[in-house]
Amino acid sequence: HPDPARSYTLPARYYTDPTVLDRERSEIFFKNWLYVCHREKLAAPGDYVTTSVFDQNIALIKGKDGQVRAFYNVCSHRAHQLLEGEGTVKAKTVTCPYHAWAYHLDGQLRSARGSEKVAAFNADEFCLRQVRVEEFCNFVFVNLDPEAASLASTSGNLEAEIRRFVPELDTL
């Protein structure tokens, strides 16, 4: 119905039109905070969880410094997927299964086989690309938009309200 107050549902084309999906992808899914996991999945250094936002594969990993970081889950060398599912990386290093480029848990390039033969190779140019990550009420969220407001700032008093109704939140 042309009057939204009298409409019961979206027009059928909104469910099938590829242009609507493209707009939702770019304006909603790529610009909002999306739930990934509970923080217990990332309890120890090297623990990781992967997720996808449409065609964007993301890896979240807990660093040696205790900070959870999120990265596009592709090697800087040939864009091979680095991690699958969830688990703990061995030797606290993320290693590409294709050409064995290795990254520290903070996304810095640790080693790149054959790079010593490349003139003026600068490892800083090949770090993993970060994605915004934020914890809210023990849940971990990502946002692909580097300019988006923080989840904490957009949620208002939601955390206080949740904690008022669930005072044992941190022990669940």
> What is the rounded CA–CA span in Å between residue 81 and residue 75?
6
pTM (2 decimals)?
A: 0.89
Please give the average per-residue pLDDT across 15-24, as a whole number.
95
Q: With 80 as the cut, is the pLDDT of residue 51 above it?
A: yes
Please give the average per-residue pLDDT across 142-164, as a whole number.
95
Which residues are CB-contacts of 135 (< 8 A; sequence separation ≥ 6)?
A: 39, 68, 141
In contact, 107 and 126? CB cutoff 8 Å: no
